[in-house]
């Protein structure tokens, strides 16, 4: 039996290994090298041409990269899905399939707009000074200069995509396809235009997704305002955190089981500052124990009120412009004022008229746009919508649009939504 060696076996190069994996040098070498050799070119094993025998055997594999935002950088989510896609593509390539992994980036409309607008601000300009055509041209210039961060990262990591097929979602070819698809969906009745309430950013002058709105707790106030009955017999006190929207009130509302107000349901009140007569309605939406138990209904500027307005067929009066200033629907004294300046003036005028009963401090959740930091304004605007529960109309011989086994319509399982706004992705589902 041999004796154990008195010293460790020497392994050449072991001392030169780092204690941790350092990919920098490897990525810098192999990523560009693989691309130069064309290993990921579409076709048969990087030849750039298909193999007909493989094609006839049905051995074709193509996959498209979900386009990451051109303004962004790779994060763990990208790393996860790109690792899976790269593995699948390499596997099929080694199996002798004709393969293609298509790369691309998304124009990231609002994020790109913000970046370019900040550059313009540094020059003392706005996008309106440039006009649409020149602003789009400026966006393209920025994309060429700064929009390749994420694809450079992919190149370094050696993602086996065919870069000769790279696309950008604002390319002319893709824009044409989007237009054609949009028209076809409209002709099939799957999309339509209508007025709906959306999250509106008055700085971007654009609707924003629910995902782009952050609820932030803030110190605010609850104003208690006296609304006289039209017959002069009495008055009721309405509690609100947004007195500037009262210019668009089309009703006041009480709970149908609140005995305090049973006698005035169906009567009318005179809206302070405007003199407009609006009805007193009953709806279970009201919380009897909140405030005075009486709330104003402004369907064009509140999501809950919008639903109440639909149920009771109330008029929907928009009182703000798209940059959140009082429009011609408001009294002349407030027209042109910013919504928050209008709030101060309205509260002061109510106080002077003896209609401001009290003001209480109140914590509330403000909807803040994550991109601009602005308070989002619920706004009734024209938007395009997807008819979620309508089955597509397809030509003879065309396979069904929904996945095999899916229920009729485009709604996901269990969804009650009849329409989803598409002007901006997933703006706000409409029930």
As a three-state string, the secondary structure of 8-74 is CCCCCCHHHCCCCCCCHHHHHHHHHHHHHHCCCCCEECCCCCCCHHHHHCCCEEEEECCCCECCCCC
Residue 88 binned pLDDT confidence (cut-offs 50, 70, 90):
very high
Contact status, residue 274 vs residue 263, Cβ threshold 8 Å: no
Q: What is the mean pLDDT of residues 358-378?
A: 92
Q: What is the mean pLDDT of residues 191-217?
A: 87
Per-residue pLDDT of 32-48, as tens digits, reads: 899 999 999 999 998 99
Looking at residue 171, the DSSP 8-state letter turns out to be S
Question: Comparing C-alpha atoms, which of 70, 142, 151 is closest to residue 103?
Answer: 151
The reported pLDDT for the residue numbered 23 is 83
Specify the range with the lowest mean pLDDT, choosing from 68-82, 88-102, 230-244: 68-82
Looking at residue 263, the DSSP 8-state letter turns out to be G
Question: How many whole angstroms separate alpha carbon 99 and alpha carbon 325?
Answer: 55
Between residues 161 and 17, the one the model is more confident about: 161
Per-residue pLDDT of 149-185, as tens digits, reads: 888 889 988 999 999 999 888 888 888 988 999 899 8
Specify the range with the lowest mean pLDDT, choosing from 33-47, 80-94, 291-305, 386-400: 386-400
Per-residue pLDDT of 253-289, as tens digits, reads: 999 999 999 999 999 999 999 999 999 999 999 998 8
Q: Domain locations in the chain?
A: 21-105+147-168, 109-140, 210-378
The reported pLDDT for the residue numbered 159 is 93
Q: What is the pTM of this model?
A: 0.68
Contact status, residue 422 vs residue 218, Cβ threshold 8 Å: no
Between residues 425 and 254, the one the model is more confident about: 254
CATH number given to 210-378: 3.90.740.10
């Amino acid at each position: 039996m041999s004796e154990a060696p008195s010293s460790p076996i020497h392994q050449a190069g072991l001392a030169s290994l780092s204690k941790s994996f350092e990919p920098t040098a490897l990525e810098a070498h192999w990523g560009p090298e693989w691309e130069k050799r064309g290993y990921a070119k579409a076709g048969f094993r990087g030849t750039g041409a298909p193999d007909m025998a493989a094609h006839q055997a049905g051995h074709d594999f193509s996959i498209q990269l979900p386009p990451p935002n051109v303004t962004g950088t790779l994060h763990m989510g990208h790393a996860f899905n790109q690792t899976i896609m790269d593995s699948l593509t390499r596997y099929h390539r080694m199996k002798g399939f004709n393969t293609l992994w298509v790369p691309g980036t998304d124009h990231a409309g609002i994020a790109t707009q913000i970046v370019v607008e900040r550059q313009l601000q540094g020059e003392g300009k706005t996008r309106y000074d440039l006009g649409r055509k020149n602003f789009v041209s400026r966006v393209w210039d920025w994309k060429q200069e700064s929009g390749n961060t994420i694809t450079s990262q992919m190149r370094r990591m050696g993602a086996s995509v065919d870069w000769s097929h790279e696309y950008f979602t604002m390319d002319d070819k893709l824009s044409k396809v989007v237009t054609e698809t949009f028209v076809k969906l409209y002709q099939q009745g799957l999309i339509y235009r209508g007025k709906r309430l959306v999250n509106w950013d008055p700085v971007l002058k654009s609707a924003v997704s629910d995902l782009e709105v952050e609820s932030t707790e803030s110190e605010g106030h609850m104003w208690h305002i006296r609304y006289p009955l039209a017959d002069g017999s009495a008055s009721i006190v309405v509690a609100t955190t947004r007195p500037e929207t009262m210019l668009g009130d089309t009703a006041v509302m009480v709970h149908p089981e609140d005995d305090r107000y049973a006698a005035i349901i169906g009567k009318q009140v005179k809206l302070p500052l405007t003199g407009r007569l609006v009805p007193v309605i009953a709806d279970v939406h009201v919380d009897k124990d909140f405030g005075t138990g009486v709330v104003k209904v402004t369907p064009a500027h509140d999501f809950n009120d919008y639903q109440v307005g639909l149920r009771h067929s109330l008029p929907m009066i928009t009182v703000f412009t798209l940059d959140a200033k009082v429009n011609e629907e408001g009294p002349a004294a407030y027209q042109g004022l910013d919504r928050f300046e209008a709030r101060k003036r309205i509260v002061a005028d109510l106080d002077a008229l003896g209609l401001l009963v009290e003001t209480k401090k109140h914590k509330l959740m403000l909807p803040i746009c994550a991109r601009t930091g602005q308070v989002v304004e619920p706004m009734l605007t024209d938007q395009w919508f997807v008819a979620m529960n309508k089955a597509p109309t397809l030509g003879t011989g065309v396979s069904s649009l929904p996945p095999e086994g899916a229920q009729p319509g485009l709604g996901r399982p269990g969804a009650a939504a009849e329409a989803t706004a598409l002007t901006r992705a997933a703006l706000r589902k409409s029930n």
